[in-house]
Amino acid sequence: MATQLKTVRPSDLPTKRVRAPDGTVVQMKVVQSDSETLAEDLLAAFRSNVRRIKAEQRKRRAEQDAS
């Protein structure tokens, strides 16, 4: 019998702020390597990153189209 996997949302993961080499502050999702739901945690972090990157690209594209 198959068991249903726990669903992990990106908001369930803790966020850490770090400073990039160029001085900007970057927020990162933190994934615990010994977590029982490691695969789901990684997927949630990946989805969060993709959503953020796509939003930034849309914003840049809209700014370029406006000028």
The confidence score (pLDDT) of residue 59 equals 94
pTM: 0.73
Q: Which of 25, 34, 35, 30 is nearest to 49 (CA)?
A: 30
Helices (H), the chain: 38-66
Average pLDDT over residues 1-30: 85
Average pLDDT over residues 15-28: 92
Residue ranges covered by each domain of the chain: 39-66
Report whether pLDDT(7) > 90.
no
